[in-house]
Amino acid sequence: MSGITTSFFLIFAGAAVVASLALYTRQPLIIAYIVLGALIGPYGMEWVTDLKLLADIADVGILFLLFLLGLDMQPRALIDTIQKSTVVALLSSLLFAATGFSIAYAFGFTFMECLVIGAAMMFSSTIIGIKLLPTTVLHHKHTGELMIGLLLLQDLIAIFVLLLLMALSLGEFNVADFSLTLLSLPLLIAFAFGAVRWVVLPLLRRFDR
C-alpha cells in the first residue's frame, strides 16, 4: 500500500488508536507516534512504503509548525530570549560534545570519528522539543520561550558544525569560502528585513490609501 490517500488514512487512523492508548497509559504522545511508524512502516507490517513522498510532506508540516510558533513570538522578545539562552546553549553543547568525544575515544574510534560523534551529541531535536512543549512547559510562557531560544541556538550551532564538516570532507579547507558561507545567512536576513521595511510595507500603505 503506497498510495498517498491510503497512507494518510493509515497514519491518522493509527495515530488516533495509539494516541488513545498512550493517553490511557500516561505515556508521551511522541513515543506513540514513533511506535506507529515502526509498526506500519516498511520495516514493520509494510502498510506504508512511499517514504520519500511522506518525507517531503512532513517537511512542509515542519515549516508550518515553526511558522505557527514564530507567529506567537515578537522579534524583540525572540532576540531577548536568545540572549538569555546563549550561555546555557554554549555550555551544554560543549559538555555534551566532550562527553560524546570521550566515550567514542574510550571505545577506540579514530580522532576524526570522535569529533563527529561529539558534534552529534551536542544537539537535541528541535521538532520533538517543540512538539513536547504544549504538554510540558509551554503554559509557563517564560520557560517555554527560553527553551525555544535554546533550541534555536542549537540549530545555529548545528549549521556551523555541518558547514565545517562539509568543508573538511572536501579535503581542502578554504577560510575565505567558509567565511562567505557563514555570512550568507545574516546577509539574507538583512536583505529580507530591508525589503520588507522599505519596499513591501510602503507599497501596502500606498494600496491602503
Q: How many angstroms separate the Cα of 188 from the Cα of each of 57, 90, 174, 176, 182?
A: 25, 24, 22, 18, 11
**Pick from 12-21, 127-136, 191-200: least confident:** 127-136
- pLDDT (tens digit, 9 = 90+) per residue, 134-147? 554 454 566 667 77
Question: Residue 173: is its pLDDT beyond 70?
Answer: no
Nearest to 118, CA basis, from 103, 101, 94: 101
pLDDT at 70: 66
| Neighbouring residues of 85: CB distance < 8 A, sequence distance ≥ 6 | 146, 149, 150, 153
Q: How far is CA 88 from the centre of its chain?
A: 18
For 77-118, write each residue's pLDDT tens digit: 777 777 878 888 888 888 988 999 999 999 999 888 888 888
